[in-house]
Structure 1
């Protein structure tokens, strides 16, 4: 009996110490007001389209709305800098497919694309689309190259802004084909596609998300997707190798980022909500934007490694093509 009483007393004492330890475990972070998701481009582009799809689903999971704020300018640098300088409290996020292209093509970036951010999730991946105004006398990619060679400097290429993925694609296309044309910078993917439709610019390499609807409706004509294989979103459009441009492999991704210094528990809560949202809306993103989720980016470190590798890859490819920062 004495042993039983001692055992009971020991357990009671242990329980008394354990209970506060259990109560001290922090609850998962939950926002108590709306979250801003900065899109550093004008409405209608790929980041805007994907951002709105993800924001709606993530807001439902978080219990607070995720509000899109378009902060266009300087090929995404205006919005990215605003995010980097925002309080690191979980209430300001960024979605930016140009995060790893800007440092490769812009000489003086006012923030560090890797070190000034922490990763939340990756919304998906998508190839760019070689597209022309329907009135341009080029039915294939090879006919476009021939037309540009025969008329150096005559035609305009629609960019989504200095340092954007579309701008990088234009520089790559120019170097690969040894053609001359004017690159015109617009304030995002949507305005760039609109310029091709109006014939203000005659061709471009827009994102699939910003051009998919107009390709399907005939507002622009797609000559190739900048991928090794055809895209399920545009199954009738040849891949770059099929179109005679085997080295024009150019794909965008959509990292979702927070300012450096955001507490780990906030990063973890946001990451779980956004990754869950992305998986839930994956089929919709493929259908509406040609953007497909991809596994493997389930930690902040992996998201930032994608950005870091992108900076290195874009810098290497552009330097090999003879393109220097502007």
Structure 2
């Protein structure tokens, strides 16, 4: 999704949109700034949001979508539109893979553990996770903060993780780095690489002694009331076996997703209802709509702090 350049004075008045599309649906998360809107901007309501989504789907031909819009600490819209690849109507409680939005949840798990003193963001990963051992002396300098910032030096060019034999566990995903080299020195360049988040998720497991999926459920999803949300290890574990659509020759064509390892980087399956709760927690810096704290405020702020 691209937009024309924004004039600085108008940036704060516009919706901040985070969108991810995977398989049979596109979950759209739209947090609306809590401050008062400029006089020329109407307050976004459910009817306006619903009309916008319906017009967009009609114009683009997307078969199905789940949409969440929040304003401050309230949900403006949580709804489903169209149908899944299995032909089932989509609703606010339809489970949908949220792709790399999962990384924000992994990041919050790590920064929360850092606030609790169980992970050191700036100490070498290898000191905290000895099994992390790429065949490159520079890897000994990689820190958890660099994993989360995607500045570890690992990259698809030296470790094409999605094209290699797929692991089944986070431990195996980290072990697959044996023999690999870094693309750049740690902390010097940005490379979007899913394996950064597989290593981060494995660090969660070793720091807590709890499987990554269970830790997310207990420490994050349950406190926020996200009862329809979980994380899976592979695309084969996703709803409908990861059946979805691709767009080609002006048409949407149903097809199955290849089996990929997803834990840490893109394995969360959620609903429009639950993503509304996630967005409210972003606005409140870690507190649920019912007032229950799921993460320290500083941990939430850290996940939104860019690298130097």
TM-score over 0.5 (shorter chain): no
Question: Which structure features the higher share of helix residues?
Answer: 1
Larger radius of gyration: 1
Whose relative contact order is higher, 1 or 2, with alpha carbons under 8 Å and at least 6 apart?
Answer: 1
TM-score (norm 1): 0.30
